[in-house]
Structure 1
Amino acid sequence: MRADTVEPPARPSAQAPATSVPVPARIAAHGASAADRVAVTGPDTTLTYGELDDRADRLAAALQAAGARPGSCVAVLLPRSARYVLAAAAVMKAGAAYLPLDPATPADRVEYILGDAATAVVLTDHERAGTLPAGPWTVIDLDEPRSLVPAPQTPADPHIGPDSLAYVIYTSGSTGRPKGVEITHANLANLVDWHNAAFEVSSDDRASQVAGLGFDAAVWEIWPPLAAGAALHVADEGTHRSPQLLQDWLVEKQITIGFAPTLLAEQLIAAQWPAHTALRTLLTGAERLNRRPLAGLPFTLVNNYGPTECTVVATSGEVGPEGNHPGPPSIGRPIPGTLALLLDEAQRPVGEGEPGELVLAGPHVGRGYRHDPERTAERFVTVRTGDGETVRAYRTGDRVRRLDDGRLIFLGRLDDQVKVRGYRIEPAEITSWLTQAPGVGAGTVTVLGDESGEGERELVAYVVASGDQPPAAAEVRAFLAAQLPDYMVPAHVVTLDALPMTPNGKLDRAALPRPAVVAEPAASPAGESTDDVKVWLGELIAELLNLGQVGEDDNIFLLGGHSMLAMQVVSRVRQRYGVKMTLRQLFRGPTVSAIAAEVAQQQQEASA
């Protein structure tokens, strides 16, 4: 084993006892033995285990009366909340598979998914019930008590077995149409058993739920702690997108085990944490991890990897602090029961230390794609192991390399290479160096230009500052030039207050602005009044929202604003007025008046 590849002992590989007990049965057991213990608490309400189990029974009975059956899908279109957890639990109690739909999902995508899944019932609230497309599904509005009146108090026993469907999650497809991944109760039980054994989860723990509900990480956040009798804390909207707000919330709620998507985690592990932090384990995943934690953090960072088709997590491993472990962080080792094969294009094992496609086998491999046998046969394949055994496996399409100690290094997607100036480039390789540049807290690299090759294609780096001052573009490029060939050095470096994310917590590449969008404007005239600031802000926000005008007390987000627009406003305010405006401050005062008041206050303090 090479000394420069040694990581801390991989505690997450702890052997989990195989129980295959369905999650609803585990929640019911806690409802009977610890009825008064808090199960889930969120912005909407708090439910004890007794209340969660009882209300889930009542709703499950109503679902069965509405047509929910084993193998059928019940869509849950609700915001992040305790009620969402209740609804998903009820669907499984009814014997159906829950289909999570994030409220931020575009209407046409919702309509396609509901039809493709052959959805039987949709659980939603009054705000969203009226926006649903017409279809053969029954809509239950949870804000309408009469919708539950015909149901008996308890559901009929649906006889949930290991092969019964637990949930179906739709992911982006290469054809442009999302595909539904079917996961069984045996798959889910395997995840729960491994997680709770590996991280020693008990009823004393306080777990977080911050991931977007259409992201399979939410499955991982919700069910293992509830199966262990722990308290699940659901973050409110806004908190889950801001590293500052999220850190404050994790400390305030005394969360002991939590998850943050990679883009947020990279900023959390670079922050200073108070001594009284209860957090002992921070889990991350979703994107390639490029940073290591600062030394002395009060918690352990665990990097995880796994396709939706393999029940959230397939490999896992602790990540050591900066300075102790050269090279990029690994994605850990396969979790117990998982077989990780590295194959070439002919599906043959690659040589030792050589990169290959990661092909996964084991009890976490899902059933396949809903109502799509052709695509299922393409990705869920039969392969031969080194021992000559034939196993069912999933082709991930990801390139990895195995180190001498068994850890895996993620290299990128097989189809992520781009061609710039005649050279084949993997943007992930540039990003790994970008995040190590002085003054850079987080970043990504993308390519702009004509893919046909007729126009000039350029690499663009997007960075988030690690401190109060944005890094100088020239210094970032100089750092990269010392590490990479000239054709891999980005032509532009754009500073943002935060990288835009999709509702699932992944990088939203479509929302990255072109370099010209964030070009520095001319400095404002000295002594500009508060009213002048309001005029400028009103015109800026109206332009970004494509509105005729914006009132000084109008809430930006109620007018259609989003996190990317908020980042642009903050960036332009900082550049024009030279103040330290943050995304957090805008979230707390999302109006022209509040922003102008903050500018005036900071300018007054600076001149005092």
Structure 2
Amino acid sequence: MAAFADPADPAVVGGAAGTKAPKGAQYTVLTSGSTGLPKAVAVGQTALGALLTWYRELTGLGPGDRHSLLIGVAFDPHLMELWAALSSGAALVVAPEAVRWDPVALTDWWRAAGITVGVLPTPLAEPVLDRPWPGGLPLRHLVVGGDRLRRAPGPDVTATVHNAYGPAEATVVTTVHSMAPGADHGTGAPPIGRPIPGAIVLVTDENGRPLPRGEAGELRIGGQGLAIGYLDAGLTAERFVSAPDEVDGTDRVYRTGDRVLMRPDGVLEFLGRLDDQVKVSGVRIEPAEVEAALERDPRVRRAAVVARPAPAGGGAPVLAFVQPAAGGGPVDAAPLLDAVRPWLPEQAVPSVLRLVDAFPLDANGKIDRAALLKAEETAAQQDGQGGPEEATPTERTVLRLCRELLGRTGLTLADNLLDAGGTSVTAARLLAALEEECGVRLRAPLLLRQPDLRAVARLIDERRPAAD
């Protein structure tokens, strides 16, 4: 997914047929954004250099450090892993494939490999931070990014955790919120913080005019980290626009499409995507705000809210999917919905609430809301029809977890996890869910090698303690 360009030969990379990387491009990376259509972003040397300088200073990276190399080259945060370590004299330690998506194996590897600085995509960081923090880890700094972080690290986490935000169009990181170890950072989603050196952030109205602090609007980014643009000139003109006259230090800004609010202290709160907004009975609904209201409850680990077209008989189209917190007690739909009513307009209170053990994820590790909606519609169509009778309790558990994780209610025990759309991210989520429900911990490569889900269940039964 990522391709590096030789600035002396702009024809070595291309997007659509006939396009070339613009002059001065240091690398290009494909990003799907919210539309799902690939877009090739060209980034210059100055922007990449500014990112690496900031990252080295943030972490104090130097010859005495051991930095993990865990993220694949299709995801641009790997630039911090690779080039920051090599340019600072730190050792670069490649993570074995077996530990990449297993929270327990990963932290064990951190300790054994002496990792002091690391980067994790949010979907993997969350299960790592949710577990009791292992003692004796040498890790000093952990940078997390790629999706909304739903929980701040607990007081037992001994590393400084940096919640980073930034699109590929602004060279990986634009803002960061750092959380020191041992402090109480609350239970809600942490903010995305303040701009890194050289970055300029604006909160604007629909016409691109800057808004005062305390008002929500679209985030636009300018400054040193701004990309050259897309390989598609038309798309560049649409998303990279002139900066407002009253803004100094940047001629252009990138329209992120993200809705944010700048607090009085200058810290940015992420509120969701502008294109996720829906109207219900004339009231504009922000799915991210509904999710935040649900996540206030300590029994809720994570929530995802989607909207569907109103049925012929009327009724609110807001659906909520909730992943219960480990050890948080039973979650009953009616009391939970009653608890969020004081925080939401009545039209935003979900009409349906479903409990899930894990969420289906897209290729970038983000919650696949389209899959959730499709699964709900399929379940509604099949309601009352019953399903296949699985032979063993373990098979029923495996099938249920995989259906919920992939958003495919038609999945059978004869299906293969990879063929059904599973990825290494899916495997990580499934491993954690299976360990919690079955008491057996498997490795991701072993899980993905099984020919079908029935074999997965058999593997779990074979590894159960004899007392079971």
TM-score clears 0.5: yes
Partner of 2:196: 335
Specify which of 313, 318, 328 is matched with residue 459 of structure 1: 318
Check whether the contact 1:261–1:284 (CA below 8 A) recurs between aligned residues: yes
Specify which of 142, 160, 165 is matched with residue 282 of structure 1: 142
Partner of 1:365: 226
Q: Confirm whether residue 169 of structure 1 aligns to residue 29 of structure 2.
A: yes
- Aligned in 2, Cα 1:434/1:231: closer, same or farther, shift over 3 Å? farther
Aligned AA for 1:460? L
1:495-546 superposed Cα distances (whole Å, 9 cap, x missing partner): 4443333333333333336246599999999xx987x97799899999x798
Specify which of 349, 352, 364 is matched with residue 210 of structure 2: 349
1:353-373 superposed Cα distances (whole Å, 9 cap, x missing partner): 222322222111111110x22
In 1, distance between residues paired with 2:467 and 2:197? 57
1:279-304 superposed Cα distances (whole Å, 9 cap, x missing partner): 11121122223321111311111111
- State which drifts further: 305-314 or 335-344: 335-344
Aligned AA for 1:499? F
Q: Confirm whether residue 300 of structure 1 aligns to residue 160 of structure 2.
A: yes
Larger radius of gyration: 1
Aligned AA for 1:306? G
In 2, distance between residues paired with 1:499 and 1:549? 19
Aligned AA for 1:332? G
Correspondence 1:26-37 to 2 at 5 A: none
Q: Confirm whether residue 503 of structure 1 aligns to residue 354 of structure 2.
A: no
Specify which of 452, 470, 477 is matched with residue 337 of structure 2: 477
Check whether the contact 1:341–1:349 (CA below 8 A) recurs between aligned residues: yes
Cα RMSD between the aligned structures? 4.5
Shift of 1:95: 6.0
1:320-367 superposed Cα distances (whole Å, 9 cap, x missing partner): 678555864221111112222222233322223222322222111111
Correspondence 1:536-575 to 2 at 5 A: 550=414, 556-557=416-417, 562-563=422-423
Question: Aligned with 1:364: secondary structure?
Answer: coil
Shift of 1:182: 0.7
In 2, distance between residues paired with 1:536 and 1:299? 35
Q: Confirm whether residue 188 of structure 1 aligns to residue 48 of structure 2.
A: yes
- Aligned in 2, Cα 1:489/1:241: closer, same or farther, shift over 3 Å? farther
1:54-76 superposed Cα distances (whole Å, 9 cap, x missing partner): xxxxxxxxxxxxxxxxxxxxx76
In 1, distance between residues paired with 2:418 and 2:52? 38
In 2, distance between residues paired with 1:348 and 1:455? 38
- Aligned in 2, Cα 1:210/1:499: closer, same or farther, shift over 3 Å? farther
Specify which of 255, 267, 280 is matched with residue 395 of structure 1: 255
The number of equivalent residue pairs is 453
Shift of 1:114: 6.5
In 2, distance between residues paired with 1:583 and 1:496? 20
Question: Aligned with 1:196: secondary structure?
Answer: helix
Question: Aligned with 1:220: secondary structure?
Answer: helix
Check whether the contact 1:214–1:503 (CA below 8 A) recurs between aligned residues: no
Of all paired residues, the percent bearing the same amino acid is: 34
1:428-467 superposed Cα distances (whole Å, 9 cap, x missing partner): 11222333323333332222x2279997553333333432
In 2, distance between residues paired with 1:286 and 1:418? 24
TM-score, normalised relative to structure 2: 0.79
In 1, distance between residues paired with 2:102 and 2:169? 29
Shift of 1:426: 0.7
Specify which of 468, 485, 491 is matched with residue 351 of structure 2: 491
Partner of 1:217: 77
Check whether the contact 1:438–1:476 (CA below 8 A) recurs between aligned residues: no
Question: Aligned with 1:399: secondary structure?
Answer: strand
Partner of 1:273: 133
- Aligned in 2, Cα 1:289/1:250: closer, same or farther, shift over 3 Å? same
- Aligned in 2, Cα 1:220/1:389: closer, same or farther, shift over 3 Å? closer
Check whether the contact 1:464–1:497 (CA below 8 A) recurs between aligned residues: yes
Check whether the contact 2:151–2:188 (CA below 8 A) recurs between aligned residues: no
1:369-419 superposed Cα distances (whole Å, 9 cap, x missing partner): 10x222212222222454667622222222222222221112222222112
Check whether the contact 2:399–2:412 (CA below 8 A) recurs between aligned residues: no
Correspondence 1:19-98 to 2 at 5 A: none
Specify which of 85, 88, 96 is matched with residue 228 of structure 1: 88
5+ long unaligned stretches in structure 2: none
In 2, distance between residues paired with 1:414 and 1:375? 18
Correspondence 1:109-120 to 2 at 5 A: 113=15, 115=17, 117=19
Question: Aligned with 2:79: secondary structure?
Answer: helix
In 2, distance between residues paired with 1:570 and 1:424? 38
Q: Confirm whether residue 430 of structure 1 aligns to residue 302 of structure 2.
A: no
- Aligned in 2, Cα 1:390/1:261: closer, same or farther, shift over 3 Å? closer
Specify which of 540, 560, 580 is matched with residue 438 of structure 2: 580
Aligned AA for 2:319? V
In 2, distance between residues paired with 1:581 and 1:98? 51
Partner of 1:202: 62
Question: Aligned with 1:415: secondary structure?
Answer: helix
Question: Aligned with 1:269: secondary structure?
Answer: helix
Specify which of 432, 436, 441 is matched with residue 301 of structure 2: 441
Question: Aligned with 2:275: secondary structure?
Answer: coil
5+ long unaligned stretches in structure 1: 1-74, 78-87, 100-111, 120-161
Question: Aligned with 2:63: secondary structure?
Answer: coil
Shift of 1:572: 11
Check whether the contact 1:496–1:567 (CA below 8 A) recurs between aligned residues: no
Aligned AA for 1:580? C
- State which drifts further: 561-570 or 475-484: 561-570
In 2, distance between residues paired with 1:310 and 1:237? 29
Shift of 1:94: 8.1
Shift of 1:570: 8.1
